[in-house]
A and B are shown apart, each in its own frame.
Chain A
Amino acid sequence: MSTIVIGLSLSFLLFLLAAGLTLIFGMLGVINFAHGALYMLGAYVCYQIVHWTGSFWIGLAFAPIVVAALGAAMEVTTLRPVYSRDHIYQLLLTFGFILVIEESVRLIWGLDYKQVPTPALFSQPIAMLGSQIPSYRLFIIGFGALVSALLFLLLDRSRLGMVIRAASSDSEMAQTLGINVSRVRTAVFALGSGLAALGGVVAAPLVPIELGMGFSVIIDCFVVVIIGGLGNIKGAILAALLLGMARAAGFTYAPEWVELITFVLLIVTLMTRPSGLFSRKGRSA
């Protein structure tokens, strides 16, 4: 049973990591290679806030906002002029973001590891189902579920979500109807960047904060996004659950096969449902 709890925590962590990537692709059609770098930046900004204030919670609240603001600036100054061009320009641009962000982080924080401690509220394990479960994992489950519900409500049930979807599916028509499409795109890119940073903040007490952390996570993000269906938020939630549970079971019974299981899932998805296991035709989010 403890495998299920750990699997759920893995799943929601994966979802938090991948949500921003799938949101930006779904709404803007941009494959944001810099997602991992924004995740890393979120962790570093959180470290800095914790260093100044001693509070993880202030870091959780403000680091995503800082990175979202940076994302908005990046979108306005660089991406906006290339939306009408071939996708390759957007890919190259987001690749360039990686280099700029990594080099900036190196200059500001240096090469050595940084550390964000587990918040005191969740520092003790809880005896549950015959295991000692880290209470921080339970926080991840709860927080991940909350974020996924909020995202779903925002995109699927709110007026703002309807505007975003309208701008995404037919930007010219939306513009004609008085929607400021440029502003919507900026907001979506900022939200996606903020979600990447949120993933970095939540992961910070679990992993070392270092320059390469974004690179290592981007593959997992793409696996979730591809299995769930590019741009499909609900698909990303289900894909993260599938992958998290498969990994938890894999680590329990056959740790050496975990990576293989992950990539077999990916290949099977691409061969049988190239648009994602949970995609629906004509629908992005």
Chain B
Amino acid sequence: MDRRTFLMSSAGVALMALNPVTSSGAADEPGEFHIAGILAFSGAYGIIGKDMRQGVELAIADRGGKVLGKPIRVSWEDDETKPQPAVQKATRLLAGGAQMMFGAVGSASTLALQGLADQRKIPLLATISADDKITRPNGSRYTFRTSNTLGMEIRMCVEFAKVKGLKKIYGVTADYQATRDGWDLFVAEAKKAGIEIVGNDYAPLGNRDYSVIVDKMAKSDADGIAVMVTGNDAVTFLKQSGQVGLNKTKVQFGPVLQDETLAAAVGPAAVGVYSGVRYHFSVDNPANKKFVEAYRAKYNEWPSSFAGEAYDGISWWLDVVEATGSWDREVWVDAFAKSTRGNSLEGMKVMRACDHQAAQVGLWGVVVEGQSPLPPLTMKITDVFDASKLFDAC
């Protein structure tokens, strides 16, 4: 074989190998609808992945396990909350014929999958990662988010501060770019509303001791404490602020500070803490009641915000795919970008064609003591902020 023949043969083989995933998607009708589910199933975020998987599996069961007349198959992979394994595992599933990606949990992984989605022209549905960069005007054609953005949740914090009449705020912010951007947005919006920022400390991600920062907050004349940390850091902060009774003298709130899972980890010090809520099982509408009933019957637990958002997002996506009657991925993408979900679990959601972000109301709640059968510490929705206050116009 001469060099020219070898090079042409190699190129041909490479093109054939790429074909299943680089074609426009208007391929022959496949035997199944294959979803690549890339979530965190291990480590600290493992519980989020578990809940999201339960939400997706219930959504698929609700529609008889089929879309476009074919069975739906989800291949679940653990990205270990790291971008590199996320991309590696997704790439393998796409090579195996997956027609869309669902995930991830962490924003860094989702952003990494977004690059893959654009490269391979495969739709990516995000239902929990909140980094604003995931959905932005003229961003990724193939990425959609049906859940909250961090920017939206920051605006909810400002709206809450206004409603609550807070005048002076001290903040603590996790020291990484997304939350730093969030804090800057909060400061800008708070100042517009006449709220004074009396201090802010950036704490390292994964910080295990907030005692000095809590002491500074306790000594300040702030009436509100903006807590721009989440997950383990939020639990650690609230446990330690509770030990000096900060929750009795100042209003503690944050964009993703508490839900039932985190409140259970904090204990009694969580009572009275305000937080943005992405989804809540108490939302009073027929779609949510039906979902909560089915979820509790199947899993014997209340659906978390992760499960609710995953169920809602994938149901919306599959309904749109069904309505297209097509196996062309470009058709799905075009249809989803213009779609509206009138019966979402949280009410109306409208997919914005400009950035592929679902415009929706913002739920805001406070941790209260729950009566059986509710969890011992549960969120009570106190405010529902209109989408017009939370999103910039396209």
Residues of A within 8 A of B (CB): 2-3, 6, 9-10, 13, 106, 110-115, 117-118, 123-125, 130-134, 136-137, 203, 205-213, 216-217, 220, 247-248, 251-252, 255-256, 258-259
Contacts and interface: CB of A to CB of B under 8 A. Distances in A.
Interface residues of B, number: 36
B171 to A, nearest CB: 12
Contacts of A220: 208
B163 interface: no
B47 A208 contact: no
A6 B67 CA distance: 59
A197 B209 CA distance: 19
A259 B174 CA distance: 13
Most buried by A among B203, B209, B236, B264: B209
Given A131-B215, A208-B236, A247 B209 contact: yes
Contacts of A131: 215, 218-219
Contacts of B232: 207-208, 210, 212-213
Nearest to B50: A111
Contacts of A134: 211, 240, 243-244
Nearest to B377: A115
B44 interface: yes
A118 B241 CA distance: 12
Interface of B: 42-44, 46-47, 50, 175, 201-204, 206, 208-209, 211-213, 215-216, 218-219, 232, 235-236, 239-240, 243-245, 261-262, 264-268
A208 B240 CA distance: 11
Nearest to B43: A212
Nearest to A132: B244
A216 B244 CA distance: 25
A115 to B, nearest CB: 5
Contacts of B42: 211
9 contacts: A13-B209, A112-B264, A113-B261, A113-B262, A132-B245, A207-B232, A247-B209, A251-B211, A259-B204
A42 B368 CA distance: 30
Q: What are the 10 closest A-B residue pairs judged by CB atoms, nearest first?
A: A113-B265, A251-B212, A134-B243, A208-B235, A111-B47, A212-B44, A255-B201, A132-B244, A111-B46, A125-B244
Contacts of B216: 252
Contacts of B268: 117
Contacts of A205: 239
Given A207-B208, A256-B202, 9 more contacts: A106-B46, A111-B47, A113-B264, A118-B239, A205-B239, A206-B208, A207-B239, A251-B209, A252-B212
Given A252-B216, A255-B213, A115 B265 contact: yes
A240 to B, nearest CB: 13
Nearest to A212: B44
A273 B257 CA distance: 43
Contact of A9 (B211, B245, B265): B211
B243 A118 contact: yes
A205 B236 CA distance: 9
Given A111-B50, A134-B244, A255-B203, A210 B44 contact: yes
Contacts of A118: 239, 243
Most buried by A among B46, B203, B208, B216: B208
A133 B212 contact: no
Nearest to A113: B265
Contacts of A106: 46
A147 B50 CA distance: 40
A28 to B, nearest CB: 28
A112 B47 contact: yes
